[in-house]
Amino acid sequence: MLAFNSNKQQQRTLNDELAVMESQQQALVQQLESLHVVLTQEEQAHSMQAEKVEAFKSALERLRKYQTSVKAQLEAHSLPTHNFAVMPDASLALTAENLQTRIDNLQSKREARAEIAERIQGFVRHQVLENDDQLMRPFVDDDLLAHAFEQLQSRYQGLDEEFDILRKHFVEHKHSIHGIINELKNNREMVRQFELSINRAFAGVTINDLSQVEATIKVEARFSDLVGEIEHLDTHSDQKASEQFIERLKAFSQKFSLMGKQPC
């Protein structure tokens, strides 16, 4: 009886241990299945990462080709290929056409900058700006260009008012010249009328064997020359007469006035 009870107890113990082992086995199976699921997910993630890596490699290779093309284009146009940065524009499609457009724009800006520098140097040569050796160099820094613009702005402030004053002086000068011209024309007409009146008085007069007597009033050569030039002068034009003509006109007018406006 004791042996039976002992065997029964051992059987119960074995059954309990077997149940525990089965439970552990079931847990291990579930854990293995979970690990299998995780492994499958990791494999999928690894596959996706591998695809991304391949895509990045392809994009990098494409960028390298674009970089080589851009560098060649920049060198072909004598543009710098280093020491500059470009902020990425996600909305911009990276194509050869877009790159060429930006290269053309960059070249246009470079040419415009060179033209600005050349015009600034022209102001220096014409002594509008102070002579600065740095401004006359083949390449002028941006700070120097900005400073030159500030100098020009300061130099030409109030230029409209100065132009108004010059226009006023020009109108006054033009009126003065027109007054002298009209005076010369009037005097020339007076001489002509006086000459005609003398010849009308001599009409029909005979002296000895002369059948006709005609008087000619001689005027100073400078007077005749000035009147001849006046005949070809457009007094209604805004163009200023030559300095030489104005000087001769003034000199003759002064002499004419000093003579008390006597006939020429």
Q: For 188-201, how does the pLDDT look when each residue is reduced to its tens digit (9 = 90+)?
A: 788 888 888 888 87
Beta bridge partners of 207: 210
In a domain, 88, yes or no: no
Distinct helix (H) and strand (E) counts, the chain: 6, 0
CA pair distance 128, 121, nearest whole angstrom: 10
Q: Which of 37-41, 121-125, 150-154, 178-182 is the least confident region? A: 178-182
250 inside domain: yes
Question: In this structure, are 214 and 169 located in the same domain?
Answer: yes
Whether 92 maps to a domain, the answer reads: no
Does residue 29 form part of some domain? yes
Mind listing the pLDDT tens digit for each residue in 74-90? 677 666 666 555 555 55
Amino acid 77: pLDDT:
64
Residue 207: inside a domain: yes
Q: Are residues 243 and 175 in the same domain?
A: yes
CA distance 256 to 103: 72
Supply the DSSP symbol for 112.
Answer: H
Query: Would residue 169 count as lying in a domain?
Result: yes
Print the domain residue range for 10: 1-76
For tokens 């260009």, the residue is: 145
Sign of CA dihedral 236, 237, 242, 247: positive
pLDDT in tens, 18-48: 888 888 888 888 888 888 888 888 888 888 8
Cα–Cα distance list, 124 to 46, 110, 112, 117, 135 (Å): 68, 21, 19, 11, 8
**198 and 239 share one domain:** yes
Strand partners, 210: 207
203-221 pLDDT, tens digit each = 776 667 666 767 787 777 7
User: Domain total for the chain?
Assistant: 3
Point out the domain boundary residue: 59, 76, 93: 76
Which of 29, 53, 76 lies at the terminal end of a domain, its last residue? 76
Q: DSSP 3-state helix, strand, coil percentages of the chain (rounded to 5)?
A: 75, 0, 25
Residues 172 and 247 in one domain: yes
Residue 262 — very low, low, confident or very high, per pLDDT cuts 50/70/90? very low
Q: What is the 3-state secondary structure (H, E, C) of 20-50?
A: HHHHHHHHHHHHHHHHHHHHHHHHHHHHHHH
Indicate whether 143 and 185 sit together in one domain: no
Residue 41 lies in a domain: yes
Residues 127 and 54 in one domain: no
Q: Are residues 210 and 243 in the same domain?
A: yes
> Quick one: tokens of 142?
């941006």
Asked if the model's pLDDT at residue 225 lies above 80, the reply is no
The size of the chain, in residues, is: 264
Q: Which of 155, 172, 191 is the last residue of a domain?
A: 155
172 plus 143 within the same structural domain: no
Within-domain flag for 32: yes
Does one domain contain both 116 and 168? no
Burial degree of 249 (CB within 10 A; 0-12, 13-18, 19+): buried
pLDDT-derived band of residue 71, with 50, 70 and 90 as boundaries? Answer: confident
User: Is it the case that residue 4 has pLDDT exceeding 70?
Assistant: no
How many C-beta atoms lie closer than 10 Å to residue 180's C-beta? Answer: 19
Q: Are residues 249 and 189 in the same domain?
A: yes
**Contact 199/215 with Cβ under 8 angstroms?**
yes
